[in-house]
Amino acid sequence: MNDRRETTGRTGSVFATAVIVGLVIIVVLNAVTREFFGSPIIQALPLVQYWFMPAIVFLGYVLAQTKERHLQVDLLFARLRPGGQRVLRLLSMLLSGVGSLLIAYHAWHYAREAQLTDKGDAVSGVAIWPVTYLAPLAMAALGILFLRSAVRTLRTGSAEGLSPSPVKDAV
């Protein structure tokens, strides 16, 4: 199970890195061409705005959950006994999973509508609809990861290793 998680995390990290490198290349080339040639790259801003930024955001959500590196507020969690921690962890994972899947469902319908209407940037003409599918895919992946964490909490019967934050380890 950890091997699969590591492989998924590594693959996602490579893809996210490639997206960020692509973003940086476009932004730098755009700045260079604007400064030295007096003309920016056509459609660079909409491309970055509508394609790269959503990809980075949604990949970040999924990778943070895959690697269990999401932000946590341990004010309540740290004060509970192990049984209470397990219940709180289970409830938060269930609510987050169901909420993510509901968002994925509605985002899918939005993406489908965007595809049917050929949604694009009105000024530059850059097609936006393909990127709208990132939201439902990422939210579905998040929902599955949250629910898998809930199942793991039920199976192990323990909340150990599932929370308090990695920040403590880093200090």
Torsion over CA: 152, 156, 160, 166 (sign): negative
- Number of neighbours of residue 168 by Cβ within 10 angstroms: 8
User: Which residue ranges of the chain lie beneath pLDDT 50?
Assistant: 159-171
The tens digit of pLDDT for each residue in 55-102 reads 898 888 888 888 777 767 677 788 888 888 888 889 989 999 999 999
40 phi/psi in degrees, rounded to 5: -75, 165
Report domain extents, the chain. 2-161
Q: How high is the pLDDT of residue 4?
A: 67
- Of 144, 56, 148, 62, whose CA–CA distance to 99 is shortest? 144
Q: How high is the pLDDT of residue 147?
A: 93
Q: What tokens appear for 108 in the block?
A: 């899918």
Q: How high is the pLDDT of residue 164?
A: 43
76/54 Cα distance (integer angstroms): 32
Q: How high is the pLDDT of residue 111?
A: 94
CB under 8 Å to 74, separation ≥6 — which residues? 163, 164, 165
Number of H helices, E strands in the chain: 7, 0
Q: How high is the pLDDT of residue 109?
A: 96
166/171 Cα distance (integer angstroms): 9
Q: How high is the pLDDT of residue 166?
A: 43
pTM of the predicted structure, to 2 decimals: 0.76
DSSP structural state of residue 120: B
Q: How high is the pLDDT of residue 126?
A: 86
